[in-house]
Amino acid sequence: MQRRNFLQSLASVPLITSANIAKTNPIIKPARLKVGDTIGLVCPAAPAFSKEAVKITAESLQALGFKVKYGKRMWERYGYLAGKDTDRAADINEMFADSSVQGIVCVHGGWGCARVLPLLDYETIRKNPKVIVGYSDITALLLGIHAQTGLVTMHGPVGSATWNEFTVKHFRSVLMNGEATLFENPKVMGDNLTLVNDRVSTINGGKTKGKLLGGNLSVLCHLLGSKYIPDWKNSILFCEDIQEAPYRIDRMITHLKLTGVLDEINGFIFGKCTKCDVGNGGFGSLTIEDLFEDHICPLNKPAFAGAMIGHITDKFTIPVGIEAEMDADKGTIQLLESAVL
């Protein structure tokens, strides 16, 4: 009898979803970055193992015309983390509070950003909106800050990324020029008879509009059910990952399905899954293409894969929280407004 009463009480408990946990905040756009601005460098996850890598980061940003300021604790190390949680959070909070800093670039991903989410000063962030950019584990910061404050955050290069022509072009377009950017994969055939690299694969054709939300798939899934995830309703979900076997990608997309995320979105964009092939010993494995057939095709919503989003050399800078239109047949993403003021 006690067990029956317990089960009945569970049935009356509402499901924990992003829709009933995430705050609804008005969109806050950061000011665009300008030549002469100061960029704050922080390590919110993995430590700065290489001083040379940090120096290359600083020199790359200086080549773009920025000044650079290091977080006070960016050289700290606590195992696989860049210092204790309180230290990493303090560097982020101080960069937002510092009126001499106009933008924040995360030097590395790794792991650890989710650990600092409860320690961030969201009121200070809301009152001092700034560009913050990164990818991979930085997804936790991008989604958590956006969910808690409404600030448009930027899924783009970390400091230690390759600041090549393609990456810089999109960084400038979105964050410095404030353009309603069209994101489109390069079409470089070389001496091949057809396009071989950076191809786009249409999963479900069509166009749709919605608010861009997403990031690293693994990190995103581990935030589901928390207050650090935005409301997915009428959004375009973009995601990417690295070194994940197909069965783990299957598990994560199934997680999105079971939590109702895939029901709420208007469209789906999968970037690159770097080193996610079946590989040796994978006989009989499902492929990622099979997973799209199983999970994404039945949604009957526009969807495509192959966008320049992920652990790759050539990267888009995708604003989290900005309205866009995706064309799944062409494999393009068109911002419908500027991401910055």
CATH homologous superfamily of domain 38-176?
A: Murein tetrapeptidase LD-carboxypeptidase, N-terminal domain (3.40.50.10740)
**Of all helices (H) and strands (E), which one includes residue 267?**
strand 267-274
Instruction: Name the CATH topology of 182-335.
Output: Glucose Oxidase; domain 1 (3.50.30)
Among residues 18, 60, 108, 136, which one is catalytic?
136
Q: Rounded mean pLDDT of 214-228? A: 97
Q: Which of 303, 306, 291, 192 is nearest to 245 (CA)?
A: 291
Q: Is 226 helix (H, G, I), strand (E, B) or coil?
A: coil
- Quick one: pLDDT band at residue 276, thresholds 50, 70, 90? confident
Q: Is 255 a catalytic residue?
A: no
Among residues 108, 155, 170, 311, which one is catalytic?
311
- Quick one: pLDDT band at residue 282, thresholds 50, 70, 90? low
Give me the chain's average pLDDT, please: 92
Domain ranges of the chain: 38-176, 182-335
Among residues 170, 240, 295, 323, which one is catalytic?
240
Q: Taking the mean position of all CA atoms in its chain, how far away is CA 215?
A: 3
114 in Cβ contact with 16 (< 8 Å): no
d(CA 230, CA 217) in angstroms, rounded, equals: 15
195 in Cβ contact with 306 (< 8 Å): no
Q: Is 155 a catalytic residue?
A: no
Asked if pLDDT for residue 46 goes beyond 80, the answer is yes
d(CA 269, CA 261) in angstroms, rounded, equals: 14
d(CA 303, CA 316) in angstroms, rounded, equals: 18
d(CA 225, CA 18) in angstroms, rounded, equals: 6
- The residues with which 38 forms a beta bridge, in sequence order, are 67
Q: Rounded mean pLDDT of 247-254? A: 95
